[in-house]
Homo-oligomer: A and B are copies of this chain.
């Protein structure tokens, strides 16, 4: 049986994909895939997602060069979430941090930045 038959896509045909850096086990980001973007990810070995806001495919790193090479694709017991192990080039976050999860909640319930910025977003994506 193809693993696709064990996946459950939501009403929009999407499934959330958690991306983890295999070497450090740092969780880098979460984004959405549809069946075609999973197929493209497997075919090319680079992560491809579906942008819900822009309604289009995107390959992670297509602008920044911060590609993700896929090492493993796992899925959960309910078949409604993917966990993808990758080798990450540069910063995964468009704000220049290694991980998109660069803020934590501190005891006063405000946000605290927990890691150093690796890169200047203006230099990656151009000034807006």
**Chain A contacts to B: CB under 8 angstroms:** 1-4, 6, 16, 18, 20, 24-27, 29-30, 42, 72-78, 81, 83, 93-95, 97, 100-105, 109-111, 114
Bound-complex Cα distance A60 to B100 (A): 25
Q: Are A74 and B3 in contact (CB under 8 A)?
A: no
Bound-complex Cα distance A25 to B107 (A): 22
Distance (whole angstroms) from the CB of A128 to the closest CB of chain B: 15
Bound-complex Cα distance A100 to B18 (A): 13
Given contacts A3-B111, A83-B27, A109-B42, contact A77 B104 (CB under 8 A): no
Distance (whole angstroms) from the CB of A103 to the closest CB of chain B: 6
Q: Are A73 and B104 in contact (CB under 8 A)?
A: yes
Bound-complex Cα distance A103 to B27 (A): 18
Query: Of all chain B residues, which has the CB nearest A81?
Result: B30
Given contacts A27-B20, A101-B83, contact A95 B114 (CB under 8 A): no
Q: Are B77 and A95 in contact (CB under 8 A)?
A: yes
